[in-house]
Amino acid sequence: GQSLEQPSEVTAVEGAIVQINCTYQTSGFYGLSWYQQHDGGAPTFLSYNGLDGLEETGRFSSFLSRSDSYGYLLLQELQMKDSASYFCAVYNFNKFYFGSGTKLNVKP
Amino acid sequence: EADIYQTPRYLVIGTGKKITLECSQTMGHDKMYWYQQDPGMELHLIHYSYGVNSTEKGDLSSESTVSRIRTEHFPLTLESARPSHTSQYLCASQRRGTNEKLFFGSGTQLSVL
């Protein structure tokens, strides 16, 4: 089966840096994706790691280590609008599997 | 970029009613998915399709059914709605040959009284 573990909730202050971790167990693996979802909204794609290492997209970066079955999403210069849930996901057996999500609370 | 549409956005109905949630995409994507999500919870895959005339059940048991008669259209039907069906339903599509990205619709928030 597929299993993706994330912390349930993280709190940080505006302007800070926060890291959201994701550990996974999967019988096959193509890469790790990250999605952002605001309350009542739909998930939107943020980042993808097909290979080990760091991918940077503006204030957001994502990292993958296949040997550790581990990845993280790094958010820099936090803004209030970054308050949302963040999901990691893997693609396997022709389907996407999502983690349980991490709720990020950004405080002023 | 995300040309995938769901209607209605919100729906409140009584128990026992038959409903169809609509999902359409204009990107020509072959693969489409339906996810069910309760507030603050993970996304559960309930149905997916590889293309026209292809439908598969997901990992979460669901009393709903789907059809895929046209590439762009992937409606979900509940024959007899119950309060336990109250949830958000998210439709998504995937570009052929890719495995990193899903495009999501805005979702349908269903409340069954």
Which residue among A33, A40, A85 places its CB closest to the CB of B101? A33
d(CA A71, CA B89): 28
Confidence of residue A83 (pLDDT cuts 50, 70, 90): very high
Distance, CA of B73 to CA of A97 (rounded, Å): 23
Q: Residue A97: name the closest of A35, A9, A18 by CA.
A: A35
pLDDT band at A95 (very low <50, low <70, confident <90, very high): confident
Q: Determine, for residues B43 and A30 on separate chains, whether the beta-carbon distance falls below 8 Å.
A: no
Q: What is the pLDDT of residues A19-37, one digit of tens each?
A: 999 999 987 778 899 999 9
pLDDT along chain B (113 residues), means of 10: 87 96 95 92 92 90 91 96 95 85 94 96
Strands B10-13 and B108-112: parallel
> Mapping DSSP to helix (H, G, I), strand (E, B) and coil, where does residue A75 land?
strand
Tokens of B15: 């128990």
Place of tokens 């509940």: B78
For residue B5, the distance in angstroms to the closest alpha carbon of chain A comes to: 11
Measure the CA–CA gap between B61 and A13, rounded to whole angstroms. 40
pLDDT at B39: 85
For residue A2, the model assigns a pLDDT of 77
